[in-house]
């Protein structure tokens, strides 16, 4: 038992006063009986004994009465150890897309918000954060409307991030009880990384459980060109039932252009194909109807008119291998001898290839340096008799790269750096039985550029990255059969492709995306990205013949956006939410340490309220004092 005013208990010493008074009243006096009252001595003796008992009963009753009054004023109570400590509460509310799942027809997020508003004390201050929003030291009434209209987020904090975020929102006061409430459906991905939570926090997990755990998702699309100006759109889905076919619709903008049914394998995977025009722009939207999660029932993509990559070769060779490599519709190829070259034409190119030049004039070096610094891609292929000093002058100005001695020896190209950006997505697996080309002569090279291809002696055959690629050997048939190797196609294709970041058919929100837009803008001009009701300005870097846009934090909504220059549409770009929330696989929270698991939000607040309850006893002592007063009256009246 504890006391609200324990200092009042010092008044119990006052109980000594009635005891002293009583003792004085019970002092014995010597009496001498007279003859005429001697016969009453026996009666008086018996009366005296009865009177003494009455006084002792009155003394005991008054002592208890006074003690009860004193204890009542001290206000005794009982409570848990933490009931008297100051409380701090931080709530994490999971608003990720998986909280769209329903239980009894209500979305898990909606149910969680309703239970919070219903059960949380309206006068208490607390802090709350979601995957993107933070509310510090607020009351329920301050954020009630915001919570009721809370949108879903494609982001998801893991347990380690939740713990770190919550700890930053608690005060530094070590004397308070810090309650962390985590409300989530606890998908497995929430446990990514370190799952240990601070043991100094009182952590409560409230799992929100969906009735259905099956969800069908449109995961990705792939466009494959066919003959006769047609293309095949492959759509990949997951989570379906093998026994049921799911209708899927294809829209161009708001116009329905095709509809079919998706069938699934035993593993839940499914593929659908649509035939679409190959050379026409398409603002595509795929749509299905699924009762589980709603965000992955639509998928946006777009096909823009193809932008050609401008490739210019400065070559003294009569070989036509470059003409054959860049003859497709994706490229606009030009080839000149040095004495025929118009230097002013270089600034409009995306790729410049220096092929078998005996020397590089200083004037051309200056223009090539400017071209490379403006974001162009330079590919250098030396000649066996090249003036190495002019090459080194150019390369050393662009990177820490220099040719050294020429090595005359037959060697095979035996090593491919599969992690190099040129070959990262070329091979399904690392091949070892490849028919490798060979060289007769090559230059030794000292460089800080990453090596893409190597010879069997360990010397580099191709180095480069980020717009500069250097071969160490001539590619003429007299020296190498590399131009007849299948390896030449992905090598030059990816080098040229890296010069212009052409938008893919779709992008994924939450990942850094870079695209190049062919546009010439003034110093003060900017490109905007917009869709109906939503507009933003992305990070942009201006080059002489294009603008490079980088998307990171924006956009935050999926859809098809238009890139605009001075109210003129340049092209479209599509964004989709990541599909990481689509697989409804949940974490066994019973395996986690330092947490208290609660079945529901109402149960949690009932538990916290019980922990804070204080049972007061002062009323009972007042009642006891009244009873003792009544007992005293009865003793006075009936005890003689």
The fold adopted by the segment(s) 217-303 is Immunoglobulin-like (2.60.40)
- Is the pLDDT at 25 greater than 80? The verdict is no
User: Which two structure tokens, joined as six digits, stand for 382?
Assistant: 């030396």
Cα separation, 258 vs 250, whole angstroms:
5
- Is the pLDDT at 38 greater than 60? The verdict is no
Q: What is the pLDDT of residue 22?
A: 72
If we measure between CA atoms, which residue out of 274, 271, 252 comes closest to residue 262? 271
Cα separation, 67 vs 409, whole angstroms:
111
Check: CB of residue 536 under 8 Å from CB of residue 562. Answer: no
For 361-472, where are the E strands, in sequence order?
A: 377-382, 401-416, 438-447, 451-455, 460-465, 468-471
Per the prediction, the chain carries an average pLDDT of: 83
3-state secondary structure of 8: helix
Domain 309-496 has CATH 3.40.50.880: yes
Q: What is the pLDDT of residue 541?
A: 85
Cα separation, 508 vs 577, whole angstroms:
6
The fold adopted by the segment(s) 507-576 is Immunoglobulin-like (2.60.40)
Check: CB of residue 563 under 8 Å from CB of residue 572. Answer: yes
The fold adopted by the segment(s) 87-212+584-612 is Rossmann fold (3.40.50)
Report the share of the chain in percent with pLDDT over 70.
89
Dump pLDDT digits (tens) for 80-106: 665 556 788 899 999 999 999 888 888
User: Which two structure tokens, joined as six digits, stand for 53?
Assistant: 């008992």
Domain ranges of the chain: 2-80+619-638, 87-212+584-612, 217-303, 309-496, 507-576
Buried b / exposed e along 304-327 (16+ C-beta atoms within 10 A) = beebebbbbbbbebeeebbeebbe
Q: What letter would DSSP give residue 150?
A: P
Cα separation, 458 vs 475, whole angstroms:
19
- Is the pLDDT at 286 greater than 90? The verdict is yes
Q: How does strand 217-225 pair with strand 230-238?
A: antiparallel
Cβ burial, residue 432 (10 Å; 0-12/13-18/19+):
exposed
Q: Is 231 left (phi over 0), alpha (psi -120 to 50) or beta?
A: beta
3-state secondary structure of 90: strand
For 464-540, where are the alpha helices, taking DSSP H only?
488-497
For 75-184, where are the alpha helices, taking DSSP H only?
108-119, 140-148, 159-169
Q: What is the pLDDT of residue 104?
A: 84
For 451-510, where are the alpha helices, taking DSSP H only?
488-497
Phi, psi of 562 (to 5 degrees): -110, 130
Between 13 and 556, name the one with better pLDDT: 556
Phi, psi of 598 (to 5 degrees): -115, 145
* Cα maximum dimension of the chain: 165
The whole-number average pLDDT for the span 554-573 is 89
Phi, psi of 521 (to 5 degrees): -125, 155
| Confidence category of residue 640, pLDDT binned at 50, 70, 90 | low
Between 359 and 52, name the one with better pLDDT: 359
Check: CB of residue 125 under 8 Å from CB of residue 138. Answer: yes
| Confidence category of residue 575, pLDDT binned at 50, 70, 90 | very high
Cα separation, 279 vs 227, whole angstroms:
11
Cα-based torsion angle of the residue sequence 98, 104, 110, 112 in order, rounded to the nearest 10 degrees: -90
Provide the edge-to-edge strand list for the sheet that holds 614-616: 2-3, 76-79, 614-616
Dump pLDDT digits (tens) for 327-359: 877 788 989 888 888 888 888 888 999 998 888
Q: What is the pLDDT of residue 202?
A: 84
Angle between helices 108-119 and 601-612 (to 10 degrees): 20
- Map tokens 């599909």 to a residue: 579
Q: What is the pLDDT of residue 490?
A: 86
Dump pLDDT digits (tens) for 235-275: 999 988 888 889 999 999 889 999 999 999 988 899 999 98
Q: What is the CA radius of gyration of the chain?
A: 43
Same fold, 217-303 and 309-496: no
For 532-604, where are the E strands, in sequence order?
A: 534-536, 539-543, 546-551, 559-565, 568-576, 595-597
- Is the pLDDT at 502 greater than 80? The verdict is no
User: Which two structure tokens, joined as six digits, stand for 389?
Assistant: 């000093």
Between 198 and 245, name the one with better pLDDT: 245
Least confident of 24-38, 100-114, 214-228, 265-279: 24-38
Angle between helices 140-148 and 108-119 (to 10 degrees): 160
Dump pLDDT digits (tens) for 515-529: 888 777 776 788 999
For 39-133, where are the E strands, in sequence order?
A: 76-79, 87-93, 102-103, 106-107, 126-129
Check: CB of residue 443 under 8 Å from CB of residue 404. Answer: yes
Cβ burial, residue 359 (10 Å; 0-12/13-18/19+):
middle
Q: What is the pLDDT of residue 272?
A: 92
- Is the pLDDT at 560 greater than 90? The verdict is yes
Report the share of the chain in percent with pLDDT over 90.
21
- Map tokens 């009762």 to a residue: 291
Q: What is the pLDDT of residue 581?
A: 87
The whole-number average pLDDT for the span 102-117 is 90
The whole-number average pLDDT for the span 473-493 is 87
């Amino acid at each position: 038992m504890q006391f609200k005013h324990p200092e009042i208990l010092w008044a119990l010493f006052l109980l000594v006063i009635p005891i002293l008074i009583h003792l004085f009243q019970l002092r014995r006096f010597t009496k001498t009986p007279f003859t005429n009252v001697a016969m009453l001595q026996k009666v008086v003796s018996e009366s005296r004994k009865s009177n003494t008992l009455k006084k002792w009963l009155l003394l005991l009753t008054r002592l208890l009465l006074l003690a009860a009054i004193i204890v009542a004023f001290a206000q005794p109570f009982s409570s848990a150890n933490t009931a008297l400590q100051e409380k701090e509460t931080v709530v994490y509310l999971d608003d990720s897309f998986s909280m769209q799942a329903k239980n009894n027809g209500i979305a898990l997020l909606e149910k969680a918000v309703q239970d919070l508003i219903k059960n949380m004390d309206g006068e208490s201050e607390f802090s709350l954060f979601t995957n993107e929003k933070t509310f510090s030291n607020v009351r329920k009434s301050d954020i009630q409307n915001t919570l009721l209209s809370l949108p879903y987020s494609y982001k998801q904090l893991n347990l380690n991030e939740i713990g770190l975020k919550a700890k930053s929102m608690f005060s530094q006061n070590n004397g308070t009880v810090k309650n962390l409430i985590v409300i989530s459906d606890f998908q497995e991905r929430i446990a990514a990384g370190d799952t240990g939570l601070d043991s100094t926090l009182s952590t409560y997990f409230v799992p929100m459980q969906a009735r259905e755990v099956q969800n069908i998702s449109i995961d990705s699309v792939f466009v494959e060109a066919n003959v006769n100006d047609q293309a095949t759109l492959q759509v990949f889905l997951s989570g379906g039932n093998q026994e049921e076919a799911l209708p899927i619709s294809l829209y161009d903008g708001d116009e329905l252009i095709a509809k079919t049914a998706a069938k699934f394998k035993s593993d839940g995977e499914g593929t659908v194909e649509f035939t679409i025009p190959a050379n026409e722009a398409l603002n595509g939207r795929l749509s299905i109807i699924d009762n589980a999660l709603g965000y992955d029932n639509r998928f946006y993509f777009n096909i823009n008119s193809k932008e050609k990559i401008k490739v210019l070769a400065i070559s003294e060779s009569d070989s036509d291998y470059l003409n054959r490599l860049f003859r497709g519709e994706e490229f606009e190829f030009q080839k000149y001898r040095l004495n025929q070259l118009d230097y002013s034409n270089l600034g409009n190119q995306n790729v410049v290839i220096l092929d078998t030049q005996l020397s590089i004039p200083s004037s051309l070096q200056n223009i090539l340096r400017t071209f490379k610094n403006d974001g162009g891609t330079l590919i250098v292929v030396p000649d066996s008799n090249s003036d190495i000093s002019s090459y080194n002058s150019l390369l050393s100005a662009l990177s820490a790269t220099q040719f050294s001695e020429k090595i005359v020896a037959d060697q095979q190209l035996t090593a491919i750096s599969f992690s190099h950006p040129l070959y990262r997505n070329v091979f399904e697996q690392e091949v070892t039985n490849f028919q490798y080309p060979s060289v007769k002569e090559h230059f030794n090279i000292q460089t800080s550029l990453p090596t893409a291809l190597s010879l069997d002696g360990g010397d580099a055959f191709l180095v480069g990255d980020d717009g500069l690629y250097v071969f160490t050997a001539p590619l003429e048939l007299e020296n190498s059969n590399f131009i007849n190797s299948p390896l030449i196609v992905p090598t030059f294709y990816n080098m040229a492709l890296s010069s212009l970041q052409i938008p893919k058919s779709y992008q994924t929100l939450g990942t850094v995306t870079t695209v190049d837009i062919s546009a010439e803008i003034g110093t003060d001009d900017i490109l905007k990205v917009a869709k109906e009701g939503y507009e933003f300005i992305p990070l942009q870097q201006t080059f002489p013949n294009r603008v490079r846009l980088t998307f990171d934090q924006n956009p935050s909504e999926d859809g098809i956006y238009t890139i605009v220059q001075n109210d003129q549409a340049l092209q479209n770009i599509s964004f989709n939410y990541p599909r990481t929330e689509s697989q409804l696989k949940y974490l066994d929270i019973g395996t986690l340490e330092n947490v208290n698991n609660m079945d529901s939000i109402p149960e949690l607040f009932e538990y916290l309220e019980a922990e804070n309850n204080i049972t007061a006893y002062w009323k009972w002592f007042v009642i006891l004092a009244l009873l003792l007063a009544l007992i005293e009256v009865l003793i006075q009246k009936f005890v003689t």
